[in-house]
Amino acid sequence: MIRRKHSLVGVLLAGIALLGLAAPGRANFQVEFSYNGTTINVDGTLHNVTVGSTTYTGQTVYFLPSGGIVDTSTTGAINIYNLVVGSDSSHAFVVSASIAKSNMPGTPNVAKIDMQSLYIQNKTGVNGNSSLTMITGDTGFTAPNRPNATLVSTMSAMAAADNTSAASVIFNSYLDTTNKQFGTASPGIQSTSTIDLSNIAAGTSKSDNQYANVDASKTPYSLTQVARITLAKGDQLTDGSSGTSVMAPAPPGWLLACSGVPFLGLACVRRRRSLTA
């Protein structure tokens, strides 16, 4: 049984909680982290957390023995604090964020998943660069359901001012008409071009949008986004946000405005959180 901590942590989690709600009894909304053989999967629909071969169930807030707090108390939203992805806190990536939400089953104008306020530190102890893979996905989207929709992929990232080396983020967005969880390679896959945010120097940020015309008339479909984040030992990504959206045809200005929403967290870079693992 995962033990509960004092109420101060609950206040912290409330402070980073997302606002999005999702319908109950829906297909699973998940985020998964992988580094050096360690995989942590968070199911925001079933409120389960799986670390390697161990699955924790029966709660909505988990204090993991491996390190970190996972909050799935709002269905369709996932929040984490000091999540340790690796063998131990000295050989891992440490991740904190108001991390992900989904509007499944979508609206006539947009279906989307997104990620916000992402903080990552490389505490692997490995000299040089190491990479963390993060996958976010949801199934069961039924709208927009048009043959001439637009898939929009957005990514922004900021490197800490005291980083010792350039950071990088490789990001991809996918629509899967076979409705597979984390669908990235099935015959029904449609995707945008890869976003490559390479050589993010210390104290600077980068961002990019990619678009693709897609057929979203076959429903239900799934959406998946994959980020591969590379940092040198001890370095940090202090703020990151992303979005994967399917949009009905709309004027270009409206499309750009909607796709740019994830960048607001970066453009208005707020306080730098002081986090400890």
Please give, one letter per residue, the 3-state secondary structure of the chain: CCCCCCHHHHHHHHHHCCCCCCCCCCCCEEEEEEECCEEEEEECCCCEEEECCEEECCCCEEECCCCCEEECCCCCEEEEEEEEEECCCCCEEEEEEEEEEECCCCCCCEEEEEECCCEEEEECCCCCEEEEEEEEEEEEECCCCCCCEEEEEEEEEEECCCCCCCEEEEEEEEEECCCCCCCCCCCCEEECCCEEEEEECCCCEEEEEEEEEECCCCCCEEEEEEEEEEEECCCEEEEEEEEEEEECCCCHHHHHHHHCHHHHHHHCCCCCCCCCC
Q: Where are the domains of the chain?
A: 29-38+82-267
When the pLDDT of each residue in the chain is averaged and rounded to a whole number, the result is 84
pLDDT tens for 202-238 read 999 999 999 999 999 999 999 999 999 999 999 999 9
Residue 76: the pLDDT is 81
Q: For the domain with range 29-38+82-267, which CATH number is right: 1.25.40, 3.40.50, 2.60.120, 3.40.30?
A: 2.60.120
- pTM of this prediction? 0.83
